Structure 1
């Protein structure tokens, strides 16, 4: 089987192209796609417990810790003890963090609008149904649950 005939080749190449595109847009604003995904997963009003962010976006806790430190240094987020659970820390967006989050959301929405202008709704429905089946195969093949959303808009 040639690599062009494998499902994973097409998924990986499409994701790399999307990631490059998102990183190009983010770089123009002075951040990265990964930081954008973290920002999207932080509640703009109530903050988000630090322990809830990594599982939402499929990051290792150590990687998220480093990224949050960088984000704090860039003035995008700040930490405060959780008012309910004093052992926990909540991550809040600064005004600049909220601005970068809006840029991230806008970029994702614009890309999806462009896709929807080119691909008919019926084809997208088939695409989503196909990916649900692929995710089922992944879940069964790996024996672990990997169908958590990367972000919620």
Structure 2
């Protein structure tokens, strides 16, 4: 199949370009795109249980653990015992983490605002509709359902 008309190729190539762009910006702040994503996912007032972060971000526990360890070493987060469940931990943003969260949020806003200058509201609505449909097809396992039924 021609990569220019392959949906998955376009998704992957675009996401890789976006990730590279964000990582270049994050490097200027001694961070990574993944760390910025964590900063934006953690509830800035109450913190977030560590067990909730992975599912919220679609990230594997081992990858998340590595990122959280690095963020704790940099002083962006702290870990506190969960008062509701002594077995789990709440991840909270430190003052430095809140500052880094602002940088991350501003970069996301800037990206969205610039894209919106070049893409019409109708085009964006179509884009979101297509992305929602793709995610639904994947979640409902409809992409390879014929192949899976043959097993």
Same fold (TM over 0.5): yes
Q: CA deviation at 1:134?
A: 1.7
Paired position in structure 1 for 2:34: 34
Identify which of structures 1 and 2 has the higher relative contact order when contacts are C-alpha pairs closer than 8 Å and 6+ apart: 1
In structure 2, what is the equivalent of residue 25 of structure 1? Answer: 25
Say if 1:83 and 1:27 are closer, same or farther in 2 by CA, change over 3 A.
Answer: same
| SS in structure 2 at match of 1:108 | helix
**Number of matched pairs:** 143
Q: 1:3 to 1:67 in 2, by over 3 A?
A: same
Does 2:6 match 1:6?
yes
Aligned to 1:114: 114
For the pair shown, which has the larger CA radius of gyration, 1 or 2? 2
Give the C-alpha shift of residue 63 in structure 1.
1.3
Instruction: Give the superposition deviation at 1:94.
Output: 0.7
Residue in 1 that maps onto 2:44: 44
Deviation string 1:76-95 (CA, Å, 9 cap, x unpaired) is 10101011211111011111
How does the TM-score come out when normalised to structure 1?
Answer: 0.89
TM-score by length of 2: 0.90
| Unmatched segments (≥5 aa) in structure 2 | 146-151
Residue 141 of structure 1 is matched in structure 2 by 143
Runs of at least 4 residues of structure 1 off by over 6 A? none
Q: Which residue of 2 aligns with 1:147?
A: none
1:16 is the counterpart of 2:16: yes
